[in-house]
Structure 1
Amino acid sequence: MSEAEKKATPEYTEEELAQMGPVKRWIKTHPNIWEFILFNILSNVSTIARFVVTWIGTAIFVTGMGLTTPFHFLIFNYDEQGNGLGGFLTFLCAEVIAQVVNFFVQMKWVFKSDSSFKDAAWKYAILAVIIVVVNLVLPGYVTGLCQGWGMGAGLAGTVASVVNTLLAVIVSYPLLKFWIMPKNNK
């Protein structure tokens, strides 16, 4: 075992590590890498929620109700190619649901934070507002671009959701780990 591995796992003796299976031993000797992997895997819970709500919202607001009237407000730009008001409502609902799901998944399963709910919730709310605003601004442009390339509304919405998800991971992981949900914060 290298010196770095010994420092990363001071609570385990070499004998205990030797008795572990290779996967468990790797997890115990690389806790930060494992946490990032877990963050990405379990972020898919909120990603799945985001996609499902995007598909349902597109079916209801765009296809079913025909709410494709262009919607422009402050920084939000949802023209007809961006599915208009229906696109905005779809992404608003998808982002709110995804952020609520993600808060609980990350706090309880990934970071196993001992921060109080009250302390973490207001910080996460700030992060969520930033993510939601960015994720509401971006899809109007991405969806419009994708539809301009000939994609249908459903596929264009899916591409916009993928872009939103990647951006959210890049921004949220360090903020969640070090500011919102740190361990040993009591």
Structure 2
Amino acid sequence: MTDNNATQPTRKVGPIRQWIKDHPNIWEFILFNLLSNISTITRFVVTWIGTAIFISGMGLTQPFHFLIFNYDTQGNGLGGFLTFLLAEVLAQVVNFFVQMKWVFKSDSSFKDAAWKYVILAVIIVVVNLVLPGYVTGLCQGWGMGAGIAGTIASVVNTLLAVIVSYPLLKFWVMPKSKGSKKATK
């Protein structure tokens, strides 16, 4: 019996695939940012829909203040809070599956990763619920409309989520096992 691989010519790797192979950590971070846009798109779409339903449609603009949450009328009140709550929860659910399966290709069990992600997501959601009331109020104080102010608040939330979540996802929530063939250099 002969080894078929011994007679096969060496397969040439293209320059992009070679770069990815040579720089797996950089590629992972790029992939993290690119694929995070799936949850970002979810966040924006739900923000726009929530603004249309809760603020424009239902007129839920009465001030909402609870513990650290401050959504006055310039922050779109209760409607703003509900909009950002729904947008953040759905974005985090989408992000969990995208990051675990496509970015980190984690071999962690769903059970082990899920409870850690819930902690991270709660932190992100709380921060992302606190900031929009202030950011939206500031933007509307500068004369921007509710839609633009909500979009800017979503951009701020997204940037903060990237800064906090990448290292925590990579090293705590979804680490590759030490024996994993896909472990990075």
Give the structure-2-normalised TM-score: 0.90
Residue 168 of structure 1, aligned match among 148, 161, 169: 161
Q: Output one character per residue of 1:89-121: Cα deviation in whole Å (capped at 9) or x when no partner.
A: 000000000000000000000000000000000
Greater Cα radius of gyration, structure 1 or 2: 2
Deviation at 1:52, TM superposition (A): 0.1
1:77 corresponds to = 70
Deviation at 1:77, TM superposition (A): 0.1
CA distance in 1: counterparts of 2:87 and 2:178, whole angstroms: 31
Q: Output one character per residue of 1:11-60: Cα deviation in whole Å (capped at 9) or x when no partner.
A: xxxx96x8210000000000000000000000000000000000000000
Give yes or no for the alignment of 1:179 onto 2:137.
Answer: no
Residue 104 of structure 1, aligned match among 97, 116, 128: 97
1:54 corresponds to = 47
CA distance in 2: counterparts of 1:155 and 1:118, whole angstroms: 39
2:3 corresponds to = none
Give yes or no for the alignment of 1:138 onto 2:131.
Answer: yes
Equivalent residues of 1:115, 1:185 under 8 A apart: no
Where do 4+ consecutive residues of structure 1 move more than 4 Å?
none
CA distance in 1: counterparts of 2:112 and 2:131, whole angstroms: 29
Q: 1:77 aligns to what SS in structure 2?
A: strand
1:127 corresponds to = 120
1:3 corresponds to = none
Give the unaligned 5+ runs of structure 1: 1-14
Q: 1:19 aligns to what SS in structure 2?
A: coil
1:4 corresponds to = none
1:39 corresponds to = 32
Give the unaligned 5+ runs of structure 2: 1-8, 180-185
Q: 1:69 aligns to what SS in structure 2?
A: coil
Residues 67 and 185 of structure 1, relative CA distance in 2, 3 Å threshold: farther
1:8 corresponds to = none
Number of corresponding residues: 171
CA distance in 1: counterparts of 2:173 and 2:14, whole angstroms: 33
CA distance in 2: counterparts of 1:108 and 1:40, whole angstroms: 14
1:95 corresponds to = 88
Q: 1:151 aligns to what SS in structure 2?
A: coil
Q: Output one character per residue of 1:66-94: Cα deviation in whole Å (capped at 9) or x when no partner.
A: 00000000000000000000000000000
Residues 185 and 78 of structure 1, relative CA distance in 2, 3 Å threshold: farther
| Pairwise CA RMSD | 1.3
Percent identity between matched residues is 85
